[in-house]
Structure 1
Amino acid sequence: MSATEMESPEFLRISLAAAMTLGMRPGRFYRNARLECINLLMTYKEGCAANCAYCGLQRLREGTYDKKSFIRVPWPVVALEEIITRCESNPEVKRICLSMITHGRAVKDAEIILQRLHQGLPQVPLSLLCTPTLLRREHLEMYRAIPVERLGIAVDGATPEIFDTFRGKGVKGPHRWENYWDLFQEALGVFGRDRVGIHLIVGLGETEEEIIRLMDRIRKAGGSTHLFSFFPEPGSKLQGRPQPPASQYRRCQLARYLIDQDLAGVEEFSFNQKGQIVSFGLSPEELERVVASGVPFMTSGCPGPDGRTVCTRPYGDCAPGEDIRSFPFQPEKEDLEMIKKQLASYWTE
């Protein structure tokens, strides 16, 4: 079957990690990581109309859409019905997340796909990573009625200037900062508190203070933050940009956890002249307990029935190896020793 015929809603791209989890692709996860959320991506021969500078799916990147990598790995194209069949027989699947792309058919096709997923897998909660550029409140209400349980919005850039430079006018892209935040407010009204997550990327040129203040704003509004470390995509406009220092990401992870768990807010934090966080507003004993749990440094995302994050996205923002950015499993003793050193290193940066 040609790529032209293998389009959504009948076909979807599936993450390599999800394909491995469902037995569609061979492979083993480094350090026996697990994935319990099946990540799906809509697919069309024309590809995505956006041109985000860090994304492997950007419109002006060379190659046909079906051959473009996303998050540095291939995403195989698979029939929706096969995905449903595989999920039915796999008790590891605790959630399914559908990601929209910027395409004229995506709004209606997302509804069709989500309805079919719910019909075939009524016990599996659904998440939608949406494209605010295409949506209005009535679309959110339509998805919620299916029911989509949680909504994700990938803002990514932590300031209006960064967003516009890498997603908007700076790359001749269709996305606008104001539209994303307008839809966030609408989504809170439709889905409710704690059911809307904002994706943010550390390392696009923002200060720690800027991204942490945005996380605090999101939480106070009723949302949560799903945090990523920038990881350059080969072939993208930002392929030569380095990852942020691990210490910078660790501090942002810790601040995110404290904010989203309602343990502290930006008014308790202190920042230095470089915009780096130097105090988290907790006593040394309290902070040590939080860090020692390891949880702040694990992948942040949608939960399963027991409240644990199941969208672990193994190695989605780093290569498997010593420099794990978002741990897809509980950090071990050696990991925590490294994390503590990274957190402390800001004193010498």
Structure 2
Amino acid sequence: MAHPLPSPSDDIELRPPSDDPRQSPEYVMTSLAGAMTLGIEKGKFARPEIVLTGLNILTTYPQNCVANCSYCGVSRERRTPREETTFIRVKWPIVAVDELIERTNSVPHQMRRLCVGMLANRPSYQHSLEIIRQFRERTPLLISGLITASLIHSRHDLEQIRDAGADRVDIAIDAATPELFEQHRGRPVKGPHRWEHFWWVTELATTVFPPGTVGIHLVAGLGETEQEFLSACQRAQDMGVVTHVFSFNPEPSTLLGDYPQPPIGHYRRIQLGRYLINELGVNVAHFRFNQAGQVASYQVDPDWLDRIIESGRPFMTSGCPDETGETACNRPYGNGRPSEKIRNFPFAPTADDIRDIREQLWSDWAGDTDA
């Protein structure tokens, strides 16, 4: 069942514009993991196995994002000053693009790919093109464009992203059903985004970028069933589009700031199902679901499935790859804080991690009753 939302806008004070003049295209917000890796912020990763392999950045403006997605840390009505803003519950410092490029070229690191994300603000599209060009011309990083589909109106818009230097694009659809998309991103929260347009842009992208280089983002825990989520993964797969899975992680002072993360069993079953669909070609129609819409069985050979679970790969971060095909965008803080149980592993899970995953997989299961 979908989360009920508080009444938007009427009882929420808009966050005032920042006095900080730094904005794109000269400046961007940078993930905390990237800022740490490049020596901009102090800190260390919670596990010694973590090595950042992808740099994530986001356009930034003194004005708020014009969108108002219920779960987003940069949403228009989030009651937090920009200087205190978090995104996915961690700090995203503002850094000059020139400094990022200089550090990317001079500081030792293992990052192979850059992801350039857009706020929904009108100038963000053109500014993203400028930023992509700068990194393409001045660094060896592969580049992904994380598209705000509401800013894309034609095939030419996507061609410009490709021609600027992005070899891949991702579209953050986030919600797995049209009803949840509308509730969390559309008219009820006075947002500009529309479900049909996001899928139209996704399909259009497959005509501009080579096969296998278009992806979508989906966020688990916005009120969907596992059957609904995995059906959205299958829809993308049928278009030749891979799904990158995130776990909802409540941002304080957003409309969903008081809602919990989804049960970890729900998330693990989704991760395993997505891996079977995207990586191994199993169709969601092959799965069996119970009355609660949970996976009751993947209906594959048990020994084969056990080997897949033991590999740990379904539970690793799904993201854009490096030149070898391994995930480069491994987002160490993309789904939770360092003190919390890891949901997307940014490294190969250890034997102890696999034991935890096996315990988690069916921990909240409602039972094997037919849907």
Query: Is the structural similarity TM-score above 0.5?
Result: yes
1:60 corresponds to which of 70, 73, 77: 77
Contact kept, 8 Å, 2:89 with 2:336, in 1: the verdict is no
> How far off is 1:319 after superposition?
2.3
1:11 corresponds to which of 20, 27, 30: 27
Q: 1:131 matched to which residue of 2?
A: 148
Q: 2:6 matched to which residue of 1?
A: none
Give secondary structure in 1 for the equivalent of 2:274. Answer: helix
Q: 1:69 matched to which residue of 2?
A: 86
Deviations 1:23-43 (A, max 9, x none): 111111011212111110101
Aligned pairs, how many? 347
1:41 corresponds to which of 50, 54, 58: 58
Alignment of 1:26 onto 2:42 = yes
Contact kept, 8 Å, 1:194 with 1:222, in 2: the verdict is yes
- Identity over aligned residues, as a percent? 44
Alignment of 1:332 onto 2:350 = yes
Q: Output aligned runs, 1:120-269, within 5 Å.
A: 120-121=138-139, 123-136=140-153, 137-269=155-287
Give secondary structure in 2 for the equivalent of 1:13. Answer: strand
What amino acid does structure 2 have at the position aligned with 1:273? Q
Deviations 1:183-216 (A, max 9, x none): 0111011113211111001111100000001101
Q: 1:95 matched to which residue of 2?
A: 113
Question: Which stretch shows the higher mean deviation, 260-269 or 180-189?
Answer: 260-269
Q: 1:295 matched to which residue of 2?
A: 313
> How far off is 1:322 after superposition?
5.6
Alignment root-mean-square deviation, CA: 1.4
What amino acid does structure 1 have at the position aligned with 2:66? A
Q: Output aligned runs, 1:291-330, within 5 Å.
A: 291-321=309-339, 323-330=341-348
Contact kept, 8 Å, 1:114 with 1:146, in 2: the verdict is yes
Q: 2:294 matched to which residue of 1?
A: 276
Deviations 1:126-154 (A, max 9, x none): 00111110112211001111221110111
What amino acid does structure 2 have at the position aligned with 1:253? Q
> How far off is 1:262 after superposition?
3.0
Q: Aligned partners of 2:187, 2:365: CA distance in 1, in Å?
A: 37
What amino acid does structure 2 have at the position aligned with 1:154? A
User: Which runs of 5 or more structure 2 residues have no equivalent in the other structure?
Assistant: 1-17
Contact kept, 8 Å, 2:317 with 2:327, in 1: the verdict is yes
Question: Which stretch shows the higher mean deviation, 339-348 or 112-121?
Answer: 339-348
Q: Aligned partners of 1:326, 1:344: CA distance in 2, in Å?
A: 17
User: How does the TM-score come out when normalised to structure 1?
Assistant: 0.96
Q: Aligned partners of 1:346, 1:107: CA distance in 2, in Å?
A: 42
Q: 2:103 matched to which residue of 1?
A: 86
Q: Aligned partners of 2:70, 2:270: CA distance in 1, in Å?
A: 22
What amino acid does structure 1 have at the position aligned with 2:151? L
Deviations 1:222-248 (A, max 9, x none): 000000111111111101111111111
Deviations 1:155-176 (A, max 9, x none): 1100111011110011000001
Contact kept, 8 Å, 1:315 with 1:324, in 2: the verdict is no
What amino acid does structure 2 have at the position aligned with 1:107? Y
Contact kept, 8 Å, 1:44 with 1:65, in 2: the verdict is no
